[in-house]
Amino acid sequence: MKERPILFSAAMVKAILEGLKTQTRRAVKFPRKREAFVIAEESDGTLWPYQSDDGESMVCDDGCEHPYSCPFGRPGDRLWVKETWRVSSKYNTTAPAALPFERGVSIAYSAGGVMCRDAVDGPYVSHPTHDLWDQEWMGKVRPSIFMPRLASRITLEVEAVRVERLQDISEADAIAEGVTIEDIHKIGYGAGENRPPAIRAYRDLWESINGAGSWASNPFVWVVQFKRIEHAPD
C-alpha cells in the first residue's frame, strides 16, 4: 500500500466531506521522453495506456511495450488530500515543513472546518463544522500545493482505476464527481441538448479547472474511484 498526495479545490473538498464525491478524473499524461504510446483494449474490454522503451515503435520483438502506471495508484493505495489552508499569523514566516505540529498547531481550511488537538497531548481531531477561516489571528492563505502531510485531514482509499475518454462519462459517474447542478444545466435538455444536466455540470467543472476547449478536446482520463477513510495525522 502506497500513499500519494492529490489536490482538490474547496468545492470538491466539501463534496468529499458531504459524501457526494467518490470519483475524480485526471488527464492521462505521458513523459515527454516517451512520446510513443497507445491506449489498448484489454481482454476484459477495458482500456489501459502502454508506452515503449525507445519512443519510436510500439511493436518490437523483445516485448518493449509496457503498461503505464496510474500516477494516482492502484486499488488499496491511499491518497491524502491537499487543500487551501492557513494557520496562526505568528507562523507567517515559517515554511510549511517547519511548522511545529507537535505543539498542536490548529489548521483552518478554505472549504470550512478545522483540525486541532482537543487536549494538549491528544491526537489531532478534524471538526468539519467548526470554522476559524475568517478569524483575525489567522495567518496568510497557503495554497494547497504547499500543504504538508501533517496538515491533511482527508485520506482516501483507491477502490478502482480505469481509463476512458472524458466525454464517455455517464450521468451516474458525473453525479459521483460531486457536481452542483444549476438551473442553467437543465435548460434545453430533451429539446436539442443531448447531455443530461449532471454531465453538463461536470463539463463546466472540467473547463473551470482545465481551461476553455478542454472538454471539446476529449482527452483520455484516469478515472479514480475512492472512498473516504477516517484518519487524522498524530
Give residue-wise pLDDT tens across range 169-180.
999 999 999 998
Cβ neighbours of residue 101 under 8 Å, at least 6 residues apart?
124, 150, 151, 233
pTM score, two decimals? 0.84
Judge whether residue 188 has pLDDT over 60.
yes
pLDDT at 152: 97
In a domain, 13, yes or no: no
More confident residue, 32 or 57: 32
Residue 194 CA neighbour count, 13 Å, CB half: 1
DSSP 108-140: EETTS-EEEESSTTS-EEEETT---TT-TTB--
In a domain, 109, yes or no: yes
pLDDT at 194: 66
Please count the structural domains in the chain: 1
Output the nine-digit C-alpha cell for 51. Answer: 508506452
Which domain does 146 fall in, by range?
84-151
pLDDT one-digit tens code per residue, 26-41: 999 876 655 566 776 7
In a domain, 166, yes or no: no
pLDDT one-digit tens code per residue, 60-86: 444 456 677 889 999 999 999 999 999
Question: Span 129-143, mean pLDDT?
Answer: 94
In a domain, 72, yes or no: no
Judge whether residue 89 has pLDDT over 80.
yes
pLDDT at 52: 65
Question: Span 205-213, mean pLDDT?
Answer: 95
In a domain, 130, yes or no: yes
In a domain, 214, yes or no: no
In a domain, 143, yes or no: yes
In a domain, 51, yes or no: no
